[in-house]
Amino acid sequence: MNIQLLLNPLRLRIIHAVLDGRPFTTTQLSDRIPDVSRATVYRQVAVLAEAGLLEIDGEERIRGAVERTYRLHSARAAMDLDTVAAMTVKDHQRLFTAAMAALLAEFNAYLGREGADPLTDSVSYRQFSLWLSEEEKAELIRNLTGILVALMKNGPAAERRQHMLSTILFPTDDRRSGVPSANEGSR
C-alpha cells in the first residue's frame, strides 16, 4: 500500500465511512460526511479508486450521467506488517497526525449535528495507563481484536447506530521491563 494515500485526513474519513463493506455511491458518501463539499468528496473518491482502494461495484445511468457504485477493497485498504515495518519514524508521525485530524473532523461533525448529545450517546474519550508484559499486551490485543472482529460483522439494522471506535496503543516510557532500575528508584 502507498501510505501517501492515507496522509490525507479526508481520505481516511472516506475509508472509515465505508469500512462496513456496503456498496455506496459518491452521493451517498457525501451524505455520510456532510461537512465536506460534494466536489471534494468526488475528487478524493477518484484518487482512492485510481489507487485501487475503492473498486467499482456497478454503474447506472441516471438522467444522462453514469453513477458509479463503489466498494472498499478491504485487502488493499489494510496495512500489512511489511508496510508497517518499512515505515520510517517520520512516516508514523505523518500518518498519526492525519489519523488524528480525521478523528477530530469526525468528532466535530458529530457535535455539529442537530440533537448531538454526548451524554446520551455514551461518547467516550478516555485514556488508561496499563502496565503490561509483552505477553499481557499480546493477550489484550488478541482479546480486543476478537471482540471487535465479531462486532464488525454486524450489519445495519433499525436498532443499530454506526459508531466510531479508535484505538491507540504505545509505550509511554523507554523501559522494557516496566520496573525502575535501582538508580531510577533512588531519585
Q: DSSP states of 61-102 as a string?
A: EETTEEEEEEEE-HHHHSPPHHHHHH--HHHHHHHHHHHHHH
Other Cβ atoms within 10 Å of 83 Cβ, number = 13
Q: Is the pLDDT of residue 84 over 60?
A: yes
Domain of residue 41 covers 3-115
Q: Which has more confidence, 97 or 181?
A: 97
Tens of pLDDT, residues 44-65: 999 999 999 999 999 998 888 8
Report the SS3 class of residue 54. strand
Q: How far apart are CA 111 and CA 115, in angstroms?
A: 9
Structural domains of the chain, count: 1
**What's the average model confidence in pLDDT over 121-137?**
94
DSSP one-letter code for 156: P
Q: Is the pLDDT of residue 175 over 80?
A: no
Does some domain include residue 44? yes
Does some domain include residue 9? yes
Beta bridge partners of residue 70, listed in sequence order:
24, 56
Does some domain include residue 94? yes
pLDDT at 46: 95
Please state the pTM of the whole predicted model: 0.79
pLDDT at 179: 60
User: Cell 506488517 belongs to which residue?
Assistant: 81
Does some domain include residue 132? no
**What's the average model confidence in pLDDT over 168-176?**
82
CATH number for the domain that contains residue 31: 1.10.10.10
- What length does the chain have? 187
Does some domain include residue 174? no
